[in-house]
Chains A and B, each alone.
Chain A
């Protein structure tokens, strides 16, 4: 009785009051952005897989040949160039997750422990992260590893052919080397931030118990920064599909350095958008569950870190 009397006394609240309108207005742009730039783009990409360019204009495929693009894609897997594309892309899983990430972990730990020289390494690793990629690749390709580069006298002294480094089979190693060099800094930034959150008491306790640095690294630091490591691992897996600028700037995709991302980028500049759309959709269907499963399994390893 009292409640209803109180309820009766309250003025009726308008739905479209100032607060609601403010929320709607502030959310309008990000929601519109999501609808247009994610949902719309992806729906359009799916629709593109059922079209084909004919004399410069995209047309819908006939019903009896609706899956032409998919058939062409699967047939292309038998081609050496397509196999090379996938192999070159898969290599970035190894480069990012199994090489760059472990190296970054170790260097992050050294910086975190403020071991002698850590400030110098901090600068060395951070510089590639703040410079634009195009400048880094130019410095790498022409300033370091060329006949006029700073390493040229050393290579000459050993009789090594520096010019051959970016030709044929060694070209992919040079791209991978660049990715490791330029990728460490980004990982170190995130990992040192994660390590700095470790409670000082835990580390002091380790010190008092006489825990050696390597044991501390594997038994304390890694578990406590596991969420950051997981994130970087997942990002590394995604680089299989996303890497394109490095091979584009360093080798222009020649000598089996063409990746899925670079191929999609180059193919999307023409009229035949159906082919990169189909390849992209295929990679998404295959890659997304694998990445999500990996993330799930990695998260289960140490559970949620709370401190």
Chain B
């Protein structure tokens, strides 16, 4: 009796430790039973909202009869790798920060070559040509055997910079600055105007921003100043992260503040003079503020401008729980000088839409991705995400009805089309085999908030030297990790 009880007890203990290793729901395991009549999509729950994917899914289902289940999830990046390695709950994942080259080289992503040869419905354009310029090239990566294939579809083409309060500007007769000097002058004008805020001792500040949560939004200006001063060719050379001799081994020289990285440090210096050295130009406590505080400050008219990405309108309105009671637009980043070229840093250009290799509905997933390239889907995205654009060619898509009633959408569209777009996504293996290490801000360390807290310790010279030294110190290990 004792023996039998002991064996039963032990068996219970052992079996309780076993279980399904996959996390998340078993959505996708049911789709096998229905063949390819169902599609499961996961989008990162961020500043684009979910209305666009819900409408797109409904339109697609009405067209094709394929049932699309779309979910938004902020935690998907934490679970993505595990799902790709084991059992994916979804057939398509859409998000920023997907290390897709890494996943492709490990055989975790589906080969999308066939998708890129298709003709986009309603056009005579091949999918590869429908993707925004440069996007298709960047969507190619190596598989486990080193062969090149398409493994992702670029998600969005982006714009970032200063969103401003059109009504406030008009009320006070402020012009939208076109150069850095004008921006400085405008900021001083706003401070001098001492426009009081109702029920507050503070005055309207030029900028509201979040040093605690989103200090990297200043990158959208700094990167464009960098590109203007260095030229796009030099920027492209830097992000190859190959040394002066063209080899990987001394690629850290691209971070040398005296040579290759000089203009980047100069751009940081411009920001430093505008913000770190001028505390009165920022709303109180900006460098320590939470994002919600910065959003509220801008929405409540306590600041004239806020640095943001193209998702700004949707995200700010969603955060404050109401539509803004003034018109906004994203200004083109004031240029370094009046003769500087017009450029646009494509925020989020590295964002991806991927299909897992273990998806049972790869064909249906590619069908949906092809549908996203149609005029109808592209229009829906802009309309519902309020100013965000998919990474497809919009030149033949009529957005006039949207733009007539929405200054923000028009400003984003102008920013995307009026200058030369550039990105900072690198295909050097050292970048994707070392996550968040080799990038413009080495090891993903930002200095904006610290520079406001301790300006003397975060000057351009100090920051430049720190970046270079950290790149040099980490380079041997990063090279080895990348197999270079």
Chain A positions near chain B (C-beta within 8 angstroms):
18, 21-22, 25-26, 28-29, 52-57, 68, 72, 75-76, 78-81, 142, 146-148, 161-170, 255, 270-272, 275
Contacts and interface: CB of A to CB of B under 8 A. Distances in A.
17 contacts: A21-B2, A21-B6, A26-B6, A52-B480, A52-B481, A55-B105, A68-B480, A76-B473, A78-B473, A80-B466, A161-B284, A162-B285, A162-B288, A163-B286, A164-B453, A168-B453, A275-B477
A55 B482 contact: yes
Given A22-B6, A55-B482, A166 B212 contact: yes
B74 to A, nearest CB: 16
B290 A25 contact: no
A21 B212 CA distance: 60
Contacts of B197: none
Contacts of B477: 72, 275
Contacts of A165: 288
A78 B105 CA distance: 34
Contact of A161 (B10, B285, B454, B483): B285
Contact of B102 (A56, A146, A161, A166): A56
A261 to B, nearest CB: 19
A147 B285 contact: yes
Contacts of A164: 285, 287-288, 453
Contact of A168 (B7, B9, B449): B449
A138 B455 CA distance: 29
A168 B285 contact: no
A56 B9 CA distance: 41
Contact of B454 (A28, A169, A275): A169
B13 interface: yes
A26 B2 CA distance: 11
B289 interface: yes
A55 B483 contact: yes
Contacts of A29: 10, 13
Given A54-B481, A76-B473, A161-B285, A167 B211 contact: yes
A81 B482 CA distance: 22
Given A22-B3, A26-B6, 17 more contacts: A21-B3, A22-B2, A25-B9, A25-B10, A53-B481, A57-B106, A79-B473, A80-B469, A142-B290, A147-B290, A163-B212, A163-B287, A164-B285, A166-B212, A167-B211, A167-B449, A168-B449
B435 A270 contact: yes
Nearest to B452: A167
A167 B282 CA distance: 16
B293 interface: yes
Contacts of B290: 142, 146-147
B450 A255 contact: yes
Contacts of B289: 147, 163
A169 B453 contact: yes
Nearest to A275: B477
A161 B6 contact: no
Contacts of B288: 161-167
B312 interface: no
A54 B482 CA distance: 6
B24 interface: no
Interface string B446-484: 000110111000000000001001100100110011110
Contacts of A271: 481
Nearest to A82: B473
Contacts of B102: 56
A142 B483 CA distance: 43
A167 B433 contact: no
B76 to A, nearest CB: 15
A54 B480 contact: yes
A56 to B, nearest CB: 5
B307 interface: no
B292 to A, nearest CB: 8
Contacts of B350: none
B161 interface: no
B450 A168 contact: yes
A6 B473 CA distance: 80
B445 to A, nearest CB: 8
A164 B449 CA distance: 9
Contacts of B473: 75-76, 78-79
Nearest to B451: A168
Contact of A56 (B106, B212, B286, B466): B106
Minimum-distance CB pairs A-B, first 10 = A163-B288, A163-B285, A168-B453, A25-B6, A55-B483, A54-B483, A167-B453, A168-B450, A164-B288, A167-B288
B154 interface: no
Q: Which of A56, A142, A270 has the most CB of B within 10 A?
A: A56
A161 B105 CA distance: 48
Contacts of A162: 285, 288
Contacts of A26: 6
B135 interface: no
B319 to A, nearest CB: 14
A119 to B, nearest CB: 36
B429 interface: yes
Nearest to A169: B454
